[in-house]
Structure 1
Amino acid sequence: MASSHPNMERFLRDWRQDALNKAQYDSAIFIGDKLLAMTKDDNDAFWLAQVHFAAGNHTRAHDLLIKHGLVGSNPSCRYLAAHCLIRQGNFADALTLLGELTPTHLFASNTKRKTHRTTASRSARPGSRNPDRPPDDLTDEEWSTRRYEAGMCYLRGLCYAKENAFDRAKEAYKDALRIDVQCYEAFTQLVRNSLMSPDEEDEFMQSLDFATVRAPKGGDDPELTSEPADYVHMLYQTQLSKYRNPAAFNTAIESLSTHYGLDDNADLLLARADQLYTQCRFKDALAITAAVLQEDKSNFPAYPVHLACLYELKRTNELFLVAHDLADHHPEHACTWLAVGTYYLATGKIPDARRYFSKSSMMDATFGPAWIGFAHTFAAEGEHDQAITAYSTAARLFTGTHLPQVFLGMQNHAMNNMTAAEEYLKSAYSLCRTDPLLLNEMGIVLYHQDRLREAATFFTQALRVADDTRADPHAWLAARTNLAHAYRRLGLLDKALHEFDVVLRDGGKNAAVFCAKALILLDRGMPDDAAAVLHEALAVNPQDAVATELLNKALELSAMGDVGAFERLDLGEEGEEGEEEMGDGNGGGEMERFEAALEEKKVAAAARMERKGRGRGADKGKGILRGGGGRRGGEREGEERGGGIMDMSDDY
């Protein structure tokens, strides 16, 4: 029926839209209500509901859609009604409204897209829905319907997540992207909540058809038609795991920075900082996050990395200032209490840290850094059973990240439960094979099971990965030290000496490393050289009992002039025969007795330190504030526990 007041209706619609654009919601609601009374048009009712939703009147918006019978009329109204219910916390009702059936007929795939390019276009009635048609052939109404259907899949995922059905939530988010690859809300839920492993991320990205990204109409240049698809793909690539494909990440960052002027964009800078953090380049990462937060203090995605870097660099004063500022201005945000918890953890006030990490996780149940920090507080106090329970919860919530499994392995290792530790680390390895931290931990567990060759393989692989990613060499001195110990016990003494020398040259001035090197020199019948090395060890730590005893032995042998008195083993050539002959490298006679004595002293010293410093222990959770992707900590075993030369190191 033709309108009797077309000019007035046009005037009121323009007025309503102008008020909405200026966030003058009362005006928009007032005018929209008069317009709806005049026209009784469903479209005007939908737009009035949109204004109510934008104003935060979610109940009124939902009731308006129900009153006019719009919920079942089209996907846009059903999407808005479900969104209103979710904002009210009625997740069960929202899921009932959305239904549990996914419109799989709308899925876009690479296979379908290739078919479009190689077959003749199909004829279709004007206005008919054909999901197999290329996006450029869809009408605006069909394209809008497709995007609302994707939006409903995203909302369905939110409802599943609130019901702790994370597997179903993940599939719903994936379905949203299969229908509309531009549904960034679904993509960010998958990535930020660590719902996919790095391999799964890569496989899923390859399955998406970025060619369905709709280019602006009117252009005849094929390159301009495909450019938006490449742009979206690169943007998504920067948000993926930094372990899986660093080359692709660097290429995407370079292209977006140089060709599109995004070199100063906060999201790209944070992606770069995240990569630097995984490489233990804390100062470089902190410089980036500090610059981002200086421009925008409310950029909350920047805080987890920023706080973790401050923690690693022991900048407690800056942590205090950040936490205080957030508590003053954003007490409603989970990240605020993460910052407070991190400050207390850094200052050794573990119960306070636990309380604020718990508060942060209760404010946002999907906030991974808070869960990991909460678990770390138990690990810091040596409460291994409670730490395992907390890490297990994090592993259940964030199935795509390997870090909770790594921490579970470390806790079981601390409890001397090597079988369980190995199983958890293997689970982590199945999710991520390129984290040097994980590879080092696997090597440590194998070392303590006397599986020395396998341990050496993992230590070598950790160093190779760190080198490939251009990680800070100083951050991985522990892995190199562990590799040297494995070589020493395998009887590959030349290799062991080389690795110890590299550690010492790169800054690992540790008395235990000097002692280990001296032990090899004594075993080779070089007491004078061993004595010189042991003097350096005592210069680092004059009270080191192991270095003192070894020095006395070296001086005694040197005075006797009889290198055979140490019962040095005949190692033969360094190769497979030498390894077989050596066995575990400890041998018998004097060497075996001496290392047994060292082991006893190590255990006794560790017991004394544990009695003195219980509650002051080091953080065993190397992933201090990352949910997803995880952050490092440090165990400082050699420094804090006074361990002997056979200690394996987790120190980062």
Structure 2
Amino acid sequence: MFHAFFLLQLRCFVSIIHFLKLQLFIIHVCFPSAFFLFLVSLVFLSMSTSIQTLKSNTVRLLDQGQPSSALPLADILCELQPNTESQLLRASVLMEVRDYDGVLRAVKSVIKNDPVNDKAIFLGMKASFELADVKECSRFAEQLHNLNEGNVNAMCYIGKCAELSGDTEKAVKSYQSALKVDPFCGEAIDSLIDRRLLDAAALNAVIDSLTLPVEAEALRSSYKARINSTSDCTEVQVGLPRKLVLLQNARAEHEKNNLRQALSLTTELLQYEPYDRDAVCLHLSILVDMKASPKLFEMAHFLSKSKAHAELAVYAIGCFYFSLSNFERAGRYFSRATELDCFFSEAWIAYGHCYAKLEEGEQALNVYRRSMSFFPGLHSCAVYVGMQYSRIHQWPIAMCFLEEALKKSPNDTLVLNEIGVLYARTQKLNEALHFFREAFNNLSNPENPSEHRDCIVFNLATMLRKLGEFNEAISYYTEYVRCRPNASHGYCALGFTFHLAGSIKLAIANYHTALSIKNDSFCRDMLDRALAADFGQNVGGNSWGQERTYGSVSPADVSFSTVSRTLRSESTVEESTFASPRPSVGRSLNF
């Protein structure tokens, strides 16, 4: 039954075919021109269907992230329909497969026929930037901006090109213009913060000026959390990412020299974001302060597994060698990190520190000055330039850079201390005392000993002694030797101050303590003078009881065995009572 039905259907189909053939033959014989038009219409209908199929599949594959599969279809589409739409679609596919030269060729052919095609100009701008053709990219960006002054993409690319050309002022203006048009433009605010184009005060002003809706205030708080390192972040705002809270608290603890708490916070943060640059750099800085070389080695080994973050791995290796005081090899790795990413500010600063540690002042100065041009908002670059000029006794030039840094960060203790050192070396003692007091008062945690804090304490005590304020100087010197019991120069300075104040026996005790730690010709000479003076005073009937008003220990309570027991190794973090010397520590004065 089914077989008979199938034969019937087949006969009907054959009959229809014969009928159509007959009709076409009649049309061809009777109306030859109409037959030609009919064939042409069939061809155009077939081509239209083919073009639509090619276009839809090209767009589908491009949306699905398969540009390599979409490229042959786009090429065929341009052959069948070589119009602007097809060429722009092909240019978009070429952009996804990273054939930037092909994108430029396709875009220029479109712009030749349509000079105001904004999509073609946008693709040409992106392709030129990827090819590092700054001049061509800037031309496309300016052209796009002229077509539409509110185009945020054009403003951002103008800023990028200005950065690469060294015109940071133009870059800042472009990014600020983009933020006025679109306050949610993350590319502009990221460039301002990450590239250090503005100092903290200027960045806060820009962030406060953003016209964000009330529902997006958490975004403003997150921007401020990225630039404020020491502000209290104990009250977590709703919507503020946890990683920013941890990062801000870790920076605050690091500023207070609470290295263990800071390390625990960065360790927790790296569990969520193991390759976050800010977190990794802060973690490495803490480990360098602790001289935890094994931990630095492990961190460098972990980062080296990621090829996408090669600059972080190289920077970590440099930190490892820096902690071992192998500054020459550390400098090589820091230099390589700057080559991999020219906007890596931490690597630039560390690279300059390596030259400074090697007493290569000219090379260090060149690196610091280059970092100033890359990061105009980073005030520490100006500080280090001023320090290098101060080392070669170029006082006026050094003061210019230090004052510039002071304008950007008026409460930075490193800047205040260095200005005080500069005034002290130019014999302006009252001005030096003022800046040393300001530096001490601006310490985030003056009770917690650290290399930087102890340096300021020693400088402040030295200025007080030179100005005749012996009692206050003795109190600061006593605080210094309490935190650094193995610092012979501290005991020598304390003894010298007692000597000037007339407390000969206390001076002798501190001279002995200093010489038990380290032999020094000046201290030995002053001890001889103090012993000679003490012999004359004892003949006159003076006693020790008259000289114990300063709260210092009696010479009878200090012995060589007591002093030797206070000398403790800094080889491990657990045994150290203060942080290891940081690369950015200011200098102490010669007492």
Q: Settle same-fold status: TM greater than 0.5.
A: yes
Q: Deviations over 1:308-356 (max 9, x none)?
A: 2222222223333333444454287333332333333333333333333
CA distance in 2, matches of 1:564, 1:443: 42
CA contact (8 A) 1:279 1:471 kept: no
Are 2:219 and 1:227 aligned? no
> What does residue 238 of structure 1 align with?
225
1:477-516 superposed matches below 5 A: 477-507=454-484, 509-516=486-493
For residue 533 of structure 2, what is the amino acid of its counterpart? L
> What does residue 91 of structure 1 align with?
134
CA distance in 1, matches of 2:74, 2:375: 44
Q: Deviations over 1:53-104 (max 9, x none)?
A: 3443434444444455598555455333311221122221111111279679
Q: Deviations over 1:102-152 (max 9, x none)?
A: 67996xxxxxxxxxxxxxxxxxxxxxxxxxxxxxxxxxxxxxxx4xx1121
Q: CA deviation at 1:521?
A: 2.0
Structure 1 residues 502, 348: closer, same or farther in 2, change over 3 A? closer
Are 2:82 and 1:26 aligned? no
CA contact (8 A) 2:218 2:237 kept: no
For residue 187 of structure 1, the aligned residue among 184, 189, 196 is 189
CA distance in 1, matches of 2:372, 2:74: 49
For residue 424 of structure 1, the aligned residue among 389, 395, 401 is 401
CA distance in 1, matches of 2:55, 2:446: 58
CA contact (8 A) 1:280 1:471 kept: no
CA distance in 2, matches of 1:272, 1:556: 56
CA distance in 1, matches of 2:360, 2:388: 9
For residue 25 of structure 1, what is the amino acid of its counterpart? P
Counterpart of 2:465 in 1: which secondary structure?
helix
> What does residue 411 of structure 1 align with?
388
Q: CA deviation at 1:437?
A: 0.9
The structure with the larger Rg is 2
Counterpart of 2:238 in 1: which secondary structure?
helix
Q: CA deviation at 1:440?
A: 0.8
TM-score normalized with structure 2 length: 0.74
Structure 1 residues 494, 40: closer, same or farther in 2, change over 3 A? same
Please say which of residues 551-560 and 41-50 is displaced more in the overlay: 41-50
CA distance in 1, matches of 2:187, 2:539: 71
For residue 183 of structure 2, what is the amino acid of its counterpart? V
CA distance in 2, matches of 1:233, 1:261: 9
Q: CA deviation at 1:483?
A: 0.6
Please say which of residues 281-290 and 41-50 is displaced more in the overlay: 41-50
Please say which of residues 49-58 and 169-178 is displaced more in the overlay: 49-58
1:57-76 superposed matches below 5 A: 57-69=99-111, 72-73=115-116, 75-76=118-119
Counterpart of 2:197 in 1: which secondary structure?
coil
Are 2:80 and 1:80 aligned? no
> What does residue 211 of structure 2 align with?
210
CA contact (8 A) 2:353 2:583 kept: no
Q: CA deviation at 1:19?
A: 4.9
TM-score normalized with structure 1 length: 0.68
For residue 430 of structure 2, what is the amino acid of its counterpart? R
CA distance in 2, matches of 1:445, 1:636: 10
Q: Deviations over 1:350-380 (max 9, x none)?
A: 3333333332222322222232233223212
CA contact (8 A) 2:383 2:405 kept: yes
CA distance in 2, matches of 1:241, 1:399: 17
Q: CA deviation at 1:20?
A: 5.0
For residue 238 of structure 1, what is the amino acid of its counterpart? A
Aligned residues: 508
Q: CA deviation at 1:551?
A: 3.6
CA distance in 2, matches of 1:340, 1:488: 44
Work out the percentage of aligned pairs sharing the same amino acid.
Answer: 22
Structure 1 residues 5, 498: closer, same or farther in 2, change over 3 A? farther
Counterpart of 1:333 in 2: which secondary structure?
helix
CA contact (8 A) 1:525 1:563 kept: no
Q: CA deviation at 1:443?
A: 0.8
CA distance in 1, matches of 2:523, 2:260: 34
Structure 1 residues 363, 92: closer, same or farther in 2, change over 3 A? same
For residue 260 of structure 1, the aligned residue among 220, 239, 254 is 239
CA contact (8 A) 1:151 1:183 kept: no
CA distance in 1, matches of 2:335, 2:475: 47
1:500-539 superposed matches below 5 A: 500-507=477-484, 509-539=486-516
Counterpart of 1:356 in 2: which secondary structure?
helix
Gaps of 5+ in 2: 1-44, 543-578
CA contact (8 A) 2:121 2:144 kept: no
CA distance in 1, matches of 2:83, 2:448: 64
Structure 1 residues 90, 452: closer, same or farther in 2, change over 3 A? same
Structure 1 residues 261, 364: closer, same or farther in 2, change over 3 A? closer
Please say which of residues 233-242 and 486-495 is displaced more in the overlay: 233-242
Structure 1 residues 10, 488: closer, same or farther in 2, change over 3 A? farther
CA distance in 2, matches of 1:310, 1:447: 33
1:625-636 superposed matches below 5 A: 632-634=583-585
> What does residue 361 of structure 2 align with?
384
For residue 154 of structure 1, the aligned residue among 156, 166, 171 is 156
Q: Deviations over 1:406-432 (max 9, x none)?
A: 112211222233333222212221222
CA distance in 2, matches of 1:200, 1:359: 31
For residue 184 of structure 1, what is the amino acid of its counterpart? G
CA distance in 1, matches of 2:285, 2:385: 20
Q: CA deviation at 1:153?
A: 0.9
1:39-54 superposed matches below 5 A: 49-54=91-96
Q: CA deviation at 1:458?
A: 0.8
> What does residue 535 of structure 2 align with?
559
Counterpart of 2:442 in 1: which secondary structure?
helix
> What does residue 569 of structure 1 align with?
none
CA RMSD of aligned residues (A): 3.9
Structure 1 residues 402, 506: closer, same or farther in 2, change over 3 A? same
For residue 178 of structure 1, the aligned residue among 152, 177, 180 is 180
Higher helix share: 2
Counterpart of 1:501 in 2: which secondary structure?
helix
For residue 171 of structure 1, what is the amino acid of its counterpart? K
CA contact (8 A) 1:314 1:346 kept: yes
Structure 1 residues 508, 204: closer, same or farther in 2, change over 3 A? farther
CA distance in 2, matches of 1:280, 1:74: 57
For residue 526 of structure 1, what is the amino acid of its counterpart? S
Structure 1 residues 90, 104: closer, same or farther in 2, change over 3 A? closer
CA distance in 1, matches of 2:365, 2:168: 21
Counterpart of 2:377 in 1: which secondary structure?
coil
Gaps of 5+ in 1: 107-145, 214-225, 567-621, 625-630, 638-645
